[in-house]
Amino acid sequence: MSTIKVIDNFLDDETFKNFATLCMTYPHFGCADFATHNKDADGSIDRFGEDLDTNVSHEVMFQAMMLKREAGLVQITDFYLASRFFIDILQEKLNALKFYVLRLNCTVRQPRAYTGMMHTDSDVRNEKFKNAILYLNTNNGGTRFEDGTIVQSKKNRCVIAPVEMKHAGVWHTDAKLRFVLNINYIEN
């Protein structure tokens, strides 16, 4: 039996529309020359484009961190504070005791569909530690899990899995942009 749970229409329509719009129009996305792990970087940023590693994938991601809890420190951004009403709703809907990561990811359309690198979002192993992905728009991308399950990107769909379950982005070819909210949390 799969430990992956998919919930369509996760938030009520009005809440979703307002929250997704806020997320997708947030002006402070930062660009990364990797998609899921630093070892995917090609050197566009850290080596200023000199001596590029052309053997890595050409995925690019824009990220906006909302909250990160690590090594006893908590980083909270102004976007987290501005979104607090919606964060409280997410916490209730997910039955979350505590959030560890709230991160907006925006990826750009690719010329062909492919799957990124399998990864986990944390090294923590705890049956109550979960990874949730809330898809903010519909496109032909998605998420592939290590058990072979593929979840299609569909607006207001949430997929929940144990944080130790490996997964990878499935890159989209239709929409210009794909937005997801990645959430790592401890379940009540």
Residues lower than pLDDT 70 in the chain: 1-2, 30-48, 52, 54-61
Output the pLDDT for position 121: 84
Listed in sequence order, the residues at least 6 apart from 109 whose beta carbon sits closer than 8 Å to its beta carbon are 172, 173, 174, 175, 176, 177, 178
Report the pLDDT value the prediction gives residue 129, as an integer from 0 to 100. 92
How much is the pLDDT for 126?
79
pLDDT at 148: 94
Domains observed in the chain: 5-26+62-187 (2.60.120.620)
pLDDT at 1: 39
- pLDDT recorded at residue 66: 86
In whole angstroms, what is the distance from residue 25 CA to residue 35 CA?
A: 20
In what order do the strands lie in the sheet containing 167-170? 150-152, 142-145, 167-170
Two tokens, residue 30: 């930062």
Question: Is 46 in a helix, a strand, or coil?
Answer: coil
Predicted confidence at residue 31, as pLDDT, reads 67
